[in-house]
Every structure is written in structure tokens, then in C-alpha cells.
Chains A and B, each alone.
Chain A
């Protein structure tokens, strides 16, 4: 077994929205995109981070006692945590029995990840599920992602790879045979807006998708819809148009915006740039799905 390690921020069992059946999703840390609405802000950076959930804090002060840089202070006002001074050594998290402080992101070997993933094989077997690699952007830890996919295939697992599409094409060429379904993101149809909202150009993403499709790779087109950002009729039409260009697409998933990224941002001491704070109404989501479905025969579903 390979010695490659990767930075993993979560392994989510009983994953039922990231590909067919009951799956285990491995979330890798680090992403080259910087989407305004990112719902996994803790996955953006490549390095471990300290998460602090103040509601869980019981003000016991054990963190302050072990912190080498005096980042934690407990007073009558509560618990203040000075991130600027924090070395991210994680010592405080070892002492935090109320789990208010936790390290996000862990260096793991392929073997360690696989031993977790393989535990749910009986569920994959009855449900035609398998493993999904997500992120972050899994292609940003390419060697690790490739090694995980290979190892999973050795165990005859069904593999899904969730990707923003933003990676060199030769890397996709290298792994596409190991991936049963690409969960391929499509965020914004106008190139200029794409660059503004995600921080990266859109053209390469579409090129990669079209080429993967021509190689026979199966895909699900995953489209986050964010009120006031991309909930436009023209974008819905473009989603349909792109889907129609693909011969191996399975379905289109509409992913309605959810504001959970906000609380997650504050836990790791980051600003959340979005002003939209509410879940969209069911009716609204339904109208998005209908708008896309009106222009294509590819099935459109809520993802």
C-alpha cells in the first residue's frame, strides 16, 4: 500500500446526496476556488484549522492553562480566543472535553482512510453505493485522490468524484477510468461573473467537462443556485444547454443555497461574504428546477 498521505477534514458515513446509494464521502482539505457562498469554508485552506464553537464552551479554562501562546482567555465576559497569536498546535483541543475547540483537518494515509471507508461495504452492497471523494477540491491533492480511487477500485467499490472542474486536463485523463461518476460543478454561465464569484476562470472548467464526456466519463452536473447571484433565467437556460452537449450525463442536480457556511465561517474565525442568510423557499427551488427542465430532456433533480 502506498505511503501517500492527504489532508482530510471529514469522513462522512451514510452519505445519501453525493451519488447513488448509501455512500461514504471523504472530504479533502484545500480548494483553489474562493466561492462567495462556500458552504464548507473550513475546507478552503490546505492546513489544519482550529474550530471554536462558543455555545459549547463551559468556561472550564483548561485550554488557557495549556496554550503555549496565551491565545485563550476566560473571564466574566466569556471565552476570548486570539486567532492572530494562534500557532495551531492543537494542544487546547486535547484538553477541551466539551468539544468547543476542535482541530479541523487531519493528515491521513490512504490505508487509514480506506479502513474507514471499507467498514460500510455491507451498506454499499445492498444499496449500490460506494465512496465519494469531495472537498475542498480533491484534484488539489491529486496524488492522494488518485491513490484513494485506485485502492477503492481494488476493493471493487463504486467511485464518485466531486469536482469543481478546475484542474489540469491531463490529471483528469489520468484518473477518469477510476471514477464511475463525476459530480461535476457548474456554478456560473457568464465567464466574467464566474471569475468574480469564484475567483477562477470558467472556460477551462467547461473544456474539461466536455472532454471528459467525450472520453466516455459519466457525469452529474451539480449546479448551486444562489439567490441574487445566479438565479437568472439565462443561467438556467445555459445549464440546460451545457447538459445537452454531453452524451454521458446522468442528471442535473440543483443545489439550493444553504446558509450553513456562515456559522462554519465564524467558527474558524473567518468573514462570511454573503448577505443572503435564509434557506430559499421550497416553491422557489421548485421553480428553478422547472426552469431548467423546461429547456432539456436530461432529468433535473434537487441535489
Chain B
């Protein structure tokens, strides 16, 4: 298969059009005013009319109105149809019970991988038959309404395409409005329709595609065998699909590669074509992830590495066995853990039959340390006392305050947004008769997003050295300084200059990182919630490292300043090379953290040029993964380029960077994010 394959003229035209639209919209999600207005009107109308109805039916009523009245059409040149250029003003917001009753659409918080494979195999009509077997009740009624609405939605697209003279696409849509798709294009179109419908229903981000190269492969295999398509045709369709993904959502993960339960490689031609398409079309969605196991083929490595040097911050590399181990610890049986996909940024979950609620709750470690310090008297103690008291405080805080709040959060979700279409698509819900939010899926997880491990470790090092080892300051003085945001500049600088920081590959700090992360992860993972829901940890809380308001910390970080990102080092680490950083971070308890332990490395373009450069990326990944690391991604960018883009955005419209678990146009980012990225690039992170 030649990698020199060019994009077709159609794709080039569509891509240029997308670029133009992007320049008009100036944000990384493409939205359309007209669709926005229509969507807001429909949802407000439907939810207001359904006031007093059970939530699940209210949502189904909305889906019906959406399917029947949302404007549908086809754009010039499109091969995959259906638009997702809308979000509601309340997109992704956490609404109180009262606000929900007032109307407005639900936000079910997205972050899920539905069972695309099952829907594709059965088609709408067989799924409807299954629904009929459910016991009578609101859920059954709502599920059927939702599925019927979905069929209507597809049929309307078929009609719109026929009217626009695009009989080929009209036929594709007509074929799947009731029956199961038979061709690759039909299957891909079906996946996209499912996406739009989940997006409309969920009103939130990160509806992810899971193992795209697995459930679509049977369709493609047949096409290739019968020579109805060649690789160029597939590439064109994939590019059309990826451009669609730039609409309305910003974090749709799509994972390729990996093994089955027995370790047998599941790679196929589609896995490679996905990587090739992403590299060539150079758009910022979907977020491509790859599973790296024992048996990755040379071809797969080559495509994955070529993509990694294409300058879009993709793919994200996941260490298969470590991620699986983390899911198994959270109670997922091995066979299902092996079938994990990536949700949103970095969160792993079995695809199709789990309700992972990966952004369940955030836990800020530096804030907890401060709360502890406020209550801890000190005096006549040593660091060992301090540290063990802190751990006891954390444990009881978690068990007595946080865990009950998680349960409350889950109950709120259950009451407020049972989502009928999503539930039809998630395996387990029809059998159990419950919506996904009610615990209907086979596996129910609850993501505990832990923030600021690096900041916590550096703060503890600072407390140990300055207060207990060197007696430079008393605990009381430190508390006073933290409370008043470091009026003493000398103490501030002293805190920042404490050596042996997390990330410098210091043996004692590494041990502390190992011990502390294991302690925290085990507490989270060992305490199930009611209804069989299993909390599972990740040392990652999306965006909070930049936006969370966190009081000053003993590492010399001032009030509200940035915190460490993911499972990476604190903000005052300076100097260590990436090998030292990765050696340090590999000490984390990655094998317990399936909800995501992200690590980003920034490399200079000069370091990754040619075959030697891509080999180097592979060596870095293999070394880190052999030491137990769970995730790695790369920004191939120099801090100078980022600074240039901040100063002259008009000249750097196309600069795409990895901002967290997804990529985005640098010029569209909040200045605080831009600063954080520049600073991290300078440190190789």
C-alpha cells in the first residue's frame, strides 16, 4: 500500500471549504448559526411541552421533534451527510433539579462509547423487535420513540439528498433507515447518524467512536475482497467522515489497533487507513488513539509514527496491557477489559456495554493538602508524622466527604437525564430495562479525576526539606505564608528552589510518587458505590490544571496559578531531559488508573526528522511503556513557533496542537491555555 496516495480532488475542495469556514467561526468546533437557533428552539419547545412527564419520555419527545423538524440537507461534494453544527447554550452544563424542571435540554455529559457494532449488525428494524420484548413502562415507550425518531431522521436525509439530486447518497440513507447496512459506506454513514443523534440527545462532548477499525472491518473486508472499493476510495470516505467530526464536538476519540483477549493482533487494513487519512487530511478531529501491545506490526508502527510527526498532536499512544489491568482492578472482567476504547481524552472503558461516566468528579490534591494543613497543629513532630497524618486525612476525607458526593452525583444523573437513544445503543440497557444513567449497562464506572499530583509531591518535598529537615521555617510560618499568598518573596523562591523535584528522576522522590499514587489509587478503586458502580481513578482532570482556583501551595505556587498537568511534574521543574521526566513518571501506579494517566512530551522538529527521528519516537514510547507507563502523546512544536502564533495569530491559523486529550487550533485557545502550552513546550512537556 503506497503512502504516497494523494487526496482526491473532492476531498481537497471540501478541506479548503472547511478551512474557510474555520476562519469565519474562529473556534475549533464548527457551528452554524442557523442550526444553533433551530436546535435551541426545538429543545426548548419540546422540553417545555413535556414538563411533568417522566424525564426519559421528555427526552424521547424531544428526539421525535428534533428528527421531524431539524433542518437537514446535503452540502456540495459531501459523501457522508448529516450536520452536527449545533450545540445548546446550556451545552455540557450541570443543571440543578430546579433548572431541569424549568425546561432546557438535558446534558447527559456525553463521554461514552456506544455499541456501534451491534447497531450496525442488527439495523433499526431488528433493534425495534428487541425493544418490543422489554417489559411495559416508560423506558420501553421512550426507547421505541427514540429509535423511531432515529429512523425518521435518516429517512429525511434520504429525501433531502434525492431533492438535491444526489441519488447515490439518497440510496445509502434509504438503505439504512430500517435495514442493517450492507456496504462500508452505509455502515460509516450509519455511525455518523448515530453520532449526530447522541450529540443532539446528550448535549455534551466526548461521544467517542471506540474501536472503529474493529466494528467496521467486516464491511470493508467484503468490499475489498469483491473489489468494489480500493484503498483510495476508502481514504476518500474516511477523510469525508473526519471532516464531519470537526463539527459540534471537540473530543471524539477513535482508537485503532490492539489485540484481543488472547493477545492476538486485531490490526487490519482499516487500522492503517485511519492513520493515513488522519495524517493526510490534517484536521483536529476525531482524536486518534492507538493501542500498543506486544504484537504491533511494523506497518502499523510506521503509520502511527508518520502521523505523530504530521504536526497535529496525534495519535495518543496507549499501553494496552497496563490499561487493561486498570480496568480489571475496577471490576471489569478480562474479556471485556481487553475490548477497551478510549473515551474523550484518555479514559478507557469497555466499548459498547459500559456506562463509564468518566468525568464523574474532580479531586484536587493540592486543595486537600491545604485543608489538611489548616487543621494540623504540628510542633514536636517530624515529617513522617506529618505525612502519615496527611494520608489519614485524605482517606477519611475521601470516604466521608467525597464518596458520598459521588453517590449523590450519580443519583442526580440517574434522575435528571435518562437518555433513551443512548440506552438503545448501549448493550445491557434493553436486557435490564434500565436507561444507561440508571445503571442499565453491563458495566458501570465512575471516573475520579485527580488533579495536581506533581504539585502535591513537590509541596511535600518542600515541607519536608524547609520545615522538618533544615528547620528554615516553622509549619506555622509556612501556613501563614500560604494563607496570605506568599508575602515573603524569599520564602516563595526558597520553596521553588527545593531540589529533587518530581520529574528529575530522583530516587527518593520516585519512591514517594510510587507510594503516594498507589495509596490514592487504591483508596479510590477499593470502595464500590451502590448499584454496582465502580469508581476508577485517573490522575487527570480536564482543564482544571489551568482553570481551577487553587490556593497557594508549598512548592512556591501562588494562589490560582497553574497546577501540574496529568500525572506529569509540577510547574517549577526546570532542566531535566525527557528521559528523566519519563523515568520519574513511570513510577506512578499506572496499572490502577484506567481513567487516564496522561503524559505529553514536546519534541523539537529537528529531533524527529527522517527515519531516525520517527525511530526515536518509537524508542521513547517503547522505553516508557516497558517501564509501566500507560499513555504518551507528542507535541512536535517549538516554543518559539507557539509564541509567534500568539503574537501573530493571522499568520498561524493552521497551527494545530495537542492541548490536552484532544487537538485544537492554537489561535482559538484561551490565552491562559496558550501560556500553559508555551511553558510546557519549553520544558519538553
Contacts and interface: CB of A to CB of B under 8 A. Distances in A.
B496 interface: yes
Contacts of A99: 497, 574
Given A13-B577, A119-B505, A122-B623, A60 B490 contact: yes
A272 interface: no
Nearest to A12: B577
A126 B626 contact: yes
B477 interface: no
A14 to B, nearest CB: 4
Q: Which of A62, A98, A119, A125 has most chain B Cβ within 10 Å?
A: A119
B510 to A, nearest CB: 10
A22 B505 contact: no
Interface in A190-246: none
A119 B627 CA distance: 12
B576 interface: yes
Interface in B526-565: none
B557 to A, nearest CB: 14
B608 to A, nearest CB: 10
Contact of A120 (B497, B579, B616): B579
Contacts of B497: 97, 99
B583 interface: yes
B623 to A, nearest CB: 5
Contact of A127 (B577, B580, B583, B619): B619
A21 interface: yes
Nearest to A97: B493
B578 interface: yes
B576 A13 contact: yes
B53 interface: no
B607 A126 contact: no
Contacts of A142: none
A176 B574 CA distance: 36
A20 to B, nearest CB: 9
A126 B623 contact: yes
A16 interface: yes
B489 interface: yes
Contact of B577 (A14, A62, A98): A14
A169 to B, nearest CB: 34
A172 interface: no
A16 B607 contact: yes
Contacts of B493: 60, 97-98
A22 B579 contact: yes
Contacts of B579: 13-14, 22, 119-120, 123
B619 A126 contact: yes
A97 B576 contact: no
Interface size class of A (residues with CB under 8 A): 10 to 19
Contacts of A62: 490
A62 B489 CA distance: 11
Given A60-B489, A60-B490, A125 B578 contact: no
A9 B362 CA distance: 44
A60 B620 CA distance: 41
Q: Which of B497, B580, B619 has most chain A Cβ within 10 Å?
A: B619
Contacts of B627: 122
Interface in A108-130: 119-120, 122-123, 125-127
A98 B496 CA distance: 9
Interface string A1-22: 0000000000011101000011
B431 to A, nearest CB: 46
B576 A127 contact: no
Is the contact region of chain A dominated by helix, strand, or loop, or is it mixed?
mixed
A27 B497 CA distance: 24
B622 interface: yes
Contacts of B496: 97
B207 to A, nearest CB: 36
A280 to B, nearest CB: 15
Contacts of B132: none
A126 B615 CA distance: 10
B397 interface: no
Contacts of A120: 579-580, 583
Interface string B554-598: 000000000000000000001011111001000000000000000
Q: Which of B493, B496, B505 has most chain A Cβ within 10 Å?
A: B493
A14 B623 contact: no
B494 interface: yes
A99 B498 CA distance: 12
Interface in A56-99: 60, 62, 97-99
Interface size class of B (residues with CB under 8 A): 20 to 34
Contacts of A21: 619
Interface in A19-74: 21-22, 60, 62
Contacts of A119: 505, 579-580, 583
A119 B505 CA distance: 8
B441 to A, nearest CB: 39
Q: Which of B578, B580, B623, B627 has most chain A Cβ within 10 Å?
A: B623
Nearest to A122: B623
Interface in B489-503: 489-490, 493-494, 496-497
Nearest to A128: B619
B619 to A, nearest CB: 4
Contacts of A97: 490, 493-494, 496-497
A127 B614 CA distance: 12
A254 to B, nearest CB: 15
Contacts of A16: 607, 616
Contacts of A13: 576-577, 579-580
Contacts of B607: 16
A123 B623 contact: yes
A99 B490 CA distance: 13
Contacts of B574: 99
A18 to B, nearest CB: 13
Q: Which of B496, B576, B579, B626 has most chain A Cβ within 10 Å?
A: B579
Contacts of A98: 493
A120 B582 CA distance: 10
A209 to B, nearest CB: 26
Nearest to A94: B497
B149 to A, nearest CB: 52
Nearest to B497: A97
A123 B490 contact: no
Contacts of B626: 122, 126
A2 B622 CA distance: 34
Nearest to A301: B612
A142 to B, nearest CB: 28
Contacts of B578: 14
Interface in B361-389: none
Interface in B611-652: 615-616, 619-620, 622-623, 626-627
A127 B616 contact: yes
Interface string A127-150: 100000000000000000000000
A82 to B, nearest CB: 24
B120 to A, nearest CB: 39
Contacts of B616: 16, 22, 127
Nearest to B580: A13
A99 B574 CA distance: 10
Contacts of A22: 579, 616, 619-620, 623
A17 to B, nearest CB: 9
A173 B326 CA distance: 54
21 contacts: A13-B576, A14-B577, A16-B607, A16-B616, A22-B619, A22-B620, A60-B490, A97-B490, A97-B497, A99-B574, A119-B505, A119-B583, A120-B579, A120-B580, A120-B583, A122-B623, A122-B626, A122-B627, A123-B620, A126-B622, A126-B626
For the complex of A and B, list the 3 residue pairs with the smallest distance between their C-beta atoms, beginning with the closest. Answer: A97-B493, A13-B577, A14-B577
Interface of B: 489-490, 493-494, 496-497, 505, 574, 576-580, 583, 607, 615-616, 619-620, 622-623, 626-627
Given A14-B580, A119-B583, 16 more contacts: A13-B576, A14-B578, A14-B579, A22-B579, A22-B623, A60-B490, A62-B490, A97-B497, A98-B493, A99-B497, A119-B505, A120-B583, A122-B627, A123-B623, A125-B623, A126-B626
